[in-house]
């Protein structure tokens, strides 16, 4: 069942989403060569606690692995696509690092992610990150009451594939707000005019995972980290948004 949110709930999600975005602003100022991903995750935890919020990912379980996620944020570097576990890894010049934060504030959730470029990144890396960001922007641009999920996926796919990049299909955006993962799943590929209709009051994420090489992914033995099968780079941006009669409002803005 896809839940439509009322204005009180949307305001709660907006507050959680704004805090998630501010948290990523804080992280942006800390990403540099030499910092560990565990350090960044610790800063995320402190930031959320300091603002009366907490992380939705810490201790989160999901089939099939059912291993509790052990951190405040997902931090995925280079060929890691999503759900990377922060740890002793040190960021190096040229890395592409994706930081994904889901905030719980007063029972409401906001979910957002960005790709950061560490130091000097190759032109290939920065163009991949740019394509992922642009594809999210284009997808948000088609959202309004009555649009179909296939239109959203198509907006992502039709931007990145002509550039030679690929769209990961195993994970999609999702309903969000009262839980971290609610229906529906929002694929980042699709056929215009197909799929469920979006309605005003639907709150969901769009979070395209874009690979430099093939779209295939693999799950590491830690039960969480998803990597590209061919070892190529991956980039991701994510926003939480609400559909309205005239468009979409992004709920994860600072
Ligand atoms: N924030 C992630 C998303 O965009 C979910 C992470 S689940 C976790 O859906 F357990 F890996 F943290
Ligand atoms: Co999400
Ligand atoms: Co997320």
Percent of the chain residues past pLDDT 90, beyond the cut: 96
Instruction: Give the torsion sign (CA, 86, 168, 62, 55).
Output: positive
Task: Return the residue whose CA atom lies nearest to atom 8 of ligand 1.
Answer: 57
Would you say the CB of residue 100 lies under 6 angstroms from ligand 1? yes
Q: Which residue has the tokens 């992280």?
A: 27
Residues 177-217: pLDDT tens digits?
Answer: 999 999 999 999 999 999 999 999 999 999 999 999 999 99
Distance 113 CA to ligand 1 centre (A): 10
Q: What does the block give as tokens for 93?
A: 């010049």
Q: How far is the CA of 26 from the centre of ligand 1 (A)?
A: 19
pLDDT of residue 63: 77
Residues 6+ apart with CB under 8 A from 33: 90, 91, 92, 93, 118, 119
Q: Which domains does the chain have, with CATH numbers?
A: 7-250 (3.90.230.10)
- 101 pairs with which residues across the strands? 112
Which residue, 184, 185, 188, is CA-closest to 151?
188
């Amino acid at each position: 069942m896809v839940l439509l949110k009322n204005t009180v709930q949307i305001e709660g999600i907006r507050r959680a989403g704004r805090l998630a975005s501010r948290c990523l602003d804080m992280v942006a100022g800390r990403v540099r060569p030499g910092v560990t991903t565990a350090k960044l995750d610790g800063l995320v935890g402190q930031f959320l606690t300091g603002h009366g919020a907490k992380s939705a990912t810490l201790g989160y379980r999901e089939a099939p692995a059912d291993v509790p996620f052990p951190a405040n944020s997902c931090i995925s570097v280079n060929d890691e696509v999503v759900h990377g576990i922060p740890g002793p890894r040190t960021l190096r010049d040229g890395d592409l690092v994706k930081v994904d934060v889901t905030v719980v504030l007063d029972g409401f959730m906001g979910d957002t992610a960005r790709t950061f470029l560490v130091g000097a990144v190759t032109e290939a890396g920065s163009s991949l990150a740019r394509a992922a960001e642009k594809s999210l922007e284009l997808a948000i641009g088609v959202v309004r009451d009555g649009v179909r999920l296939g239109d959203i996926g198509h907006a992502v796919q039709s931007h990145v594939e002509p550039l030679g990049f690929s769209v990961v299909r195993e994970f999609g955006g999702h309903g969000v707000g009262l839980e971290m993962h609610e229906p529906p799943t929002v694929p980042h590929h699709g056929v215009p005019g197909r799929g469920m209709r979006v309605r005003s009051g639907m709150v969901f994420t769009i979070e395209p995972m874009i690979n430099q090489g093939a779209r295939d992914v693999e799950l590491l033995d830690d039960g969480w980290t998803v990597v590209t099968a061919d070892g190529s780079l991956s980039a991701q941006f994510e926003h939480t948004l609400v559909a309205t009669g005239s468009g979409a409002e992004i709920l994860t803005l600072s």
